[in-house]
Each structure stands twice: as C-alpha cells, then as structure tokens.
Amino acid sequence: MTLARLMIAFAGGELPPVAAKWINEQGAAGVTLFRAHNVVDPPGIRRLTAAIQGARPAGAPPLLVAADQEGGQLVGLGAGTTQFAGSMALGATGDVGLAERVAGATARELRAVGVNVNYAPVCDVANNPANPALGIRSFGDDPDAVGTLAAATVRGLQDGGVAATAKHFPGAGDTEADPHHELPRVPRTNAELAERELVPFRAALAAGARMVMTGHFTLPGQDPDLPTSLSGAVLRDLLRGQLQFDGVTVSDALDMRALAQGSAQIVDAIIALRAGEDVLLGTPDQPALQRLAEGLAQAQRRGLIDAHDDAAARQRLDELRHWLGGFEQPALDVVGCGEHQALAAELARRSITLVRNDDRILPLRLPADARVAVVQSMPADLTPADTSSYVPPTLASALRRRHAGVDEILLPPEPGAADLAGLAERLATFDVVVLGTFSAHLQPAQARLAALVLGSGRPTITVALRTPWDLLAYPAARTHVCSYGILPPSMEALAAGLLGEAPFAGRLPVEIAGLYPRGHGLSAPG
C-alpha cells in the first residue's frame, strides 16, 4: 500500500530525502507542519512548502499541507504570523462577522506561506471546566453559539482557499482527561450528544467544511470501549450516515497516548481505516512512519483494507486536492501586514471582559509616582496542543508604556514555597497589584499564589490570563478581568482597559458556576 492515506511529518526546516521519497514514490496524502519541528519564520515556511509541493509527481494536484493555526493557545506557524487571540476571545465578542474576517485573514496568511489545510475550527463545547486539553481553544459553552462561530470560521477559511477541519468529532468538550496522555471518556448518551456536542458540527458541515478530524475518546452511546477515531459507528453511521458528510476525514495525531503506541500502533491504524477513516495523521517519528508504511502495505496485501473503501477515500482526497489547486498564492508580505495587525488588535480589544469591579478601582487613575506590581508565572504549555511557552510575558511592558512605575515579578509556572517566600512583604511597597493567573482552577500552585497575593492586603486586580474559570479558585477577589490568552495584542488591550484608555467590551462566553452566567460583563465607569 502506498502512503496515499497518510499525512506524514518530519523534523527540520528543510524537506529530508526520505520525506521527498514518501511524497514522490509512495504518494503520501500530505504533510503536517509542527511549530516545534518545522517553523522558524514565514519565509522559511514558504520555502519548505514549495519544496514539499515540488516533490510530488509531475501533474499531480497539490498535496495537503496542514497546520494547527487556531490562534490563541495554539499558534502552529509561529510568532511571525499575525497573533489572533483565538476561539474563546471570539466567543467573548459574540461577533460572527468578526470571526469570519479573522478566519479570512488567517487563510490569506496560511496560503501565503504555502499551507492549504487548517486543523480548525475547534467545534468542542467548553461545558466542563476540568477539561485539561480544551481551555480557550473552544468558542464557549453554548452549542448554538459555538456552531455559529465555527460556521463563520469555516466560511472565512475556505473563501480564502484553505480547507477547514471541524474537530474533534463528535465532540470532546465534556471530559476530564487529556487524550495526549490517556483515553478520555465523554459521558454522553446518543440523545445528549445530538442535543449538545453535535450542534456545532452540524453548523460547520452546513457551512461547507471540507474536512472533519475525529477525536480519540470513548462514548457510552457508541462503541463504549473503542476510541471514536476507530469506530465505524461514529465514522460511518453517525458522520457519513446521519450527518451526511461527504468530505475528507482525518484522525487526530497517532502519537497520542489514547491510542496504542510502538509496534501495536499499526493495529489501531488498520482499525481506523477499516472503520472509515480517510487519512491518518502521522507525526515526526520516522521509525513509526516507516512501521506504518510497511504495516499498511501488508494489510492491503492480506485483504484487511477494503478495496472499495480505499478507492472512495482516495477519490475524496483527490477532489479536495483539486479544489485546493484552484487558488493563487498571495504575496508573502500579507503575513503580519498592517491590516491584519489592526484586526488582531480589534479582536483583542473587544474580547477583554471585566467580570467584577466591586471596589470600583477600575479604571486605574494613578498618580505619576504610583507603583504597580505585575505578578505572574512564566507561560507554560499545559497540554501538548499548546504553544504558550513560546510567548514572552508582555503585560508589564504594555502597562509600563502607559505608566512608568510598573515592576514585573515573574515566577516559575508552578511556584513553590521558596518562590513565594517574602512576596507579601515585597508587595507591601506597591500601591496596586495586578495578578495574572493561568488556569488556577486546575493548578493548585496558581491558586496558592492568588491566595498569597490577595492576602497581602494591597489593592489587587486579578486577571485570568487563560481560561475564564480562575475565579473559582479565588472567589474572594474583588476586581477580576478575563483576557482569554497572553498574546501581545491581548496584553495591549488589557493594559488599555485597566488604565481606562478603552472600555471593557467582552462578555463571558462560558458560565462561571455559582458566580456568573454566560453573557456577563461589566463596563468600567469612566
């Protein structure tokens, strides 16, 4: 069997000979680019994708070249692209037109660097704050709102010639496990699934999404012990049958621990293809890819891959590749252009949400000699589907451009007792403290940091720099803001809001249970 149903990957910024051979001689379906393995800057990505397309056989349609350019928490093509705040920030604006404009700009940048498939939008509903893998990758916790914004993202991407990928089918929001590390369970009956998880996917498919990515988790209403990505009940009966999807399906990454690893991985790969998966998503593990290639070839020789299914999958892939070939490549200077930067700033400005202002200290009216402490941990990747560790902290510098007396106190991602020793005494010398936390409701160290700072007695503004549920970990905070991420445009917008340069316009796209409903948001008095 050739590699026509495998997305390959590799390490490095140049196309290695083995990958070129897999493309030219074995007909690989395409290549997935990963930030940690392939990305340096936009010119480098464009050179790499040109080499990838140049390796295909003469006359063949374009290969699929894919990336996770979700924005926000997962920016797969690096800091050289426009840093859009991502799905939950869009959810906080509730603006469908804005979502479509952001997706259109993303598509232009992807096309300019030679990427023609985006593994987005995320259609998962954020109805479980304990989900460690989702966070701000979701638009929110209302299925209809998520569907509306997902559909807008599909339209924006595909109008720009980039295939949208609705993920993670049939909906991985309500779990407390990370499929990168174990096999999660989503406790949904079929009726519940139809009422909640499937709603955004129906909207994305109605908008014309050309690809669907299946997730690795179990559903009691389907095959209760089989990952959804390996389930004919999910792929054939539900997706192809009930939802009438006729585009390309792709599995989530094969190296995730929800699936078998090592030599046993080929068994799950064969099961996935037999269940109806069109394409398998490989990762930059050359021995694993070689085992897959050999194992799939042997499976075909032994009749384990149905010839009719194989032909139908190849036909769907061929149709997608020919569609992708109908678009021109924009000039590279569209990447990070002024228009896109202004759009990123607009999204950030309109998403920042003032949740609580009980002491009415916002907006800050600071005397020239006032001292402000910005306390936060260094950003870290809380799941492998995360690029936060690449983002330098910029909140303090954004505030300092507006007020000279700003000091930054940076702590480790999980500050321990030694890191916190003396912090309260140090804060006593400041007039105001801005405390940024990262998923404090899931990270006890962040909750302890918040308790210490709030206990210092200094006027404190707490900011949920990632997921909006942090207030659950420190409900006594009296002034609280959500930024839905730490990318520079969001930090600029946050600083402007704190100092009264711009109104707070965002609204919570999720409920903070027992505290605030979805749609809550305040505007600080002028």
Distance CA 118, CA 90 (A): 17
C-alpha distances out from residue 372 to 18, 123, 181, Å? 55, 39, 40
Name every residue whose Cβ is closer than 8 Å to that of residue 103 and which is 6 or more positions away in sequence: 121, 152, 153, 154, 155, 156, 157, 160, 164
Distance CA 393, CA 501 (A): 21
Distance CA 69, CA 465 (A): 20
From the candidates 180, 340, 403, 441, give the one annotated as an active-site residue: 180
Peptide linkage before 121 cis (omega within 30 of 0) = yes
List the structure tokens of 138.
């979701």
From the candidates 142, 252, 268, 278, give the one annotated as an active-site residue: 252
β-strand partners of 463: 436, 481
List the structure tokens of 495.
């600083």
Distance CA 483, CA 260 (A): 37
Q: Confirm whether 358 is a catalytic residue.
A: no
Q: Confirm whether 252 is a catalytic residue.
A: yes
CA geometry: angle 368, 370, 375, nearest 5 deg: 135
List the structure tokens of 483.
């930024």
C-alpha distances out from residue 3 to 12, 294, 310, Å? 21, 10, 12
Distance CA 249, CA 278 (A): 5
Q: What is the largest CA-CA distance in the chain?
A: 78
Q: Which residues are catalytic?
A: 180, 252
